[in-house]
């Protein structure tokens, strides 16, 4: 796992690695494990960041991308590529997050579970790659659920600040949730093979190239969607109206407000259906807009 962190993520300097039971579980429990009293998370985000803060009874606060404007906190979540928007943070945005952390001593948890799925020209990078070898207060959160399609194994890992990881390991030692050895072995195998990960990435890219033009033909404007497993788009209408229109064609999309009130005019369309179902959905949309 260390070798993967160095060769694929580009981590330098001192760091530690800890396998975790799932990354959802880690996201939900990290504020508790770190005894965080205040947690920042993106305005449009994976809901578990907020739920984790609530479990810890910490003060949650949603923030924009620009870290120069963030208030000091105990823990801040970054998610690039983002679920649901597919937005990739630029190197300078990540550096601003690191500078914020150095200045305020806020722990940064960078959820990078979609890092292996670029959709176009922009390549997502790990926050640890731009930390210049000083990983203090930085954690990168990774999962094999998407990269290696191993969601059922609950195989994930955190990488970063050795002191923070030692604290988490110490608490978790007593709380349980250790990753079973056979799963750790499977993780090692999956992380030493980039071929299957590239195939998986190509699968999502192909599905996107089938579905995105159909959604655009139906008047949806695709935003961000630079990486990941989702298409984030809007027809300028209330999210439920877009969801109902697609439901009428037998297609299930997620209303954007599930990811925060700011998303209430967007929908998230997942590329996790089979190739055949994605092709059928695209054909149904095209048929609907042509009549």
Ligand X SMILES: Cc1ncc(COP(=O)(O)O)c(C=O)c1O
**Footprint of ligand X (CB under 6 A):** 22-24, 27, 46, 79, 83, 111, 113, 143, 145, 151, 156
Write out the two tokens for 119. 């959709």
Tell me how far apart the alpha carbons of residues 82 and 6 are, in angstroms, rounded to a whole number: 23
Residue 64 or 134: which CB sits closer to ligand X?
64
Closest approach, Cβ 97 to ligand X, in A, equals 16
Residue 259 Cβ, how far from ligand X at the closest point, in Å? 10
Query: Between 17 and 285, whose beta carbon lies closer to ligand X?
Result: 17
Q: Which is nearer to ligand X, 70 or 228 (CB)?
A: 228
Q: In angstroms, what is the minimal distance from the CB of 133 to ligand X?
A: 26
Kindly state the smallest distance separating residue 47's Cβ from ligand X, in Å: 9
Q: What's the closest the beta carbon of residue 179 comes to ligand X, in angstroms?
A: 12
SS (H, E, C) the chain: CHHHHHHHHCCCCCCEEEEEECHHHHHHHHHHHCCCCEEEEECCCCCHHHHHHHHCCCEEEEECCCHHHCCCCCEEEEECCCCCCCCCCCHHHHHHHHHHHHHHCCEEEEECCCCCCECCCCCCCCHHHHCCCCCCCEEEEEEHHHHCCCHHHCEEEEEECHHHHHHHHHHHHHHCCCCCHHHHHHHHHHHCCCHHHHHHHHHHHHHHHHHHHHHHHCCCEECCCCECCEEEEECCCCHHHHHHHHHCCCCCCEEHHHHCHHHCCCEEEECCCCHHHHHHHHHHHHHHHHC
Q: How far is the CB of 155 from ligand X (least distance, A)?
A: 8
Q: Which is nearer to ligand X, 61 or 149 (CB)?
A: 149
Nearer to ligand X, 27 or 36 (CB): 27
Q: 178 or 249, CB closer to ligand X? A: 178
Residue 256 vs 285, nearer CB to ligand X:
256
Q: How far is the CB of 27 from ligand X (least distance, A)?
A: 6
Q: Least distance from C-beta 274 to ligand X, angstroms?
A: 18
DSSP-assigned beta bridge partners for residue 242:
none
**Which residue's entry shows tokens 């998407």?**
146
**CA-based nearest residue to 143, from 113, 120, 179:** 113
Count of beta carbons in the 10 Å neighbourhood of residue 142: 31
Question: Which CB, 151 or 279, lies closer to ligand X?
Answer: 151
């Amino acid at each position: 796992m260390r070798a993967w962190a160095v060769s694929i993520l580009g981590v330098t300097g001192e760091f530690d690695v800890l396998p975790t039971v799932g990354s959802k579980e880690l996201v939900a429990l990290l504020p508790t494990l770190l005894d965080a009293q205040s947690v920042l998370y993106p305005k449009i985000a994976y809901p578990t960041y907020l739920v984790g803060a609530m479990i810890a009874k910490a003060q949650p606060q949603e923030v924009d991308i620009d870290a120069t404007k963030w208030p000091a906190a105990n823990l801040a979540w970054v998610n690039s590529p983002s679920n649901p928007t597919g937005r990739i943070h630029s190197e300078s945005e990540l550096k601003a997050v690191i500078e914020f952390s150095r200045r305020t001593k806020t722990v940064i948890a960078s959820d990078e579970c979609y890092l292996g799925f670029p959709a176009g020209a922009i390549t997502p990078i790990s926050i640890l790659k731009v930390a210049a070898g000083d990983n203090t207060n930085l954690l990168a959160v990774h999962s094999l659920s998407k990269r290696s399609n191993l969601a059922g194994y609950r195989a994930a890992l955190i990488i970063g600040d050795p002191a923070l990881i030692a604290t988490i390991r110490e608490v978790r030692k007593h709380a349980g949730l250790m990753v079973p050895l056979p799963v750790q072995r499977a993780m090692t195998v999956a992380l030493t093979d980039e071929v299957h990960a590239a195939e998986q990435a190509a699968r999502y890219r192909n599905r996107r190239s089938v579905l995105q033009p159909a959604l655009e033909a139906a008047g949806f404007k695709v935003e961000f969607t630079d990486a990941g497993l989702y298409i984030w788009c809007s027809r300028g209408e209330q999210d439920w109206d877009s969801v109902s229109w697609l439901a009428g064609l037998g297609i299930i999309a997620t209303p954007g407000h599930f990811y925060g009130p700011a998303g209430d005019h967007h929908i998230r369309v997942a590329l996790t259906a089979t190739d055949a179902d994605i092709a059928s959905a695209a054909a149904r949309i095209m048929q609907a807009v042509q009549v």
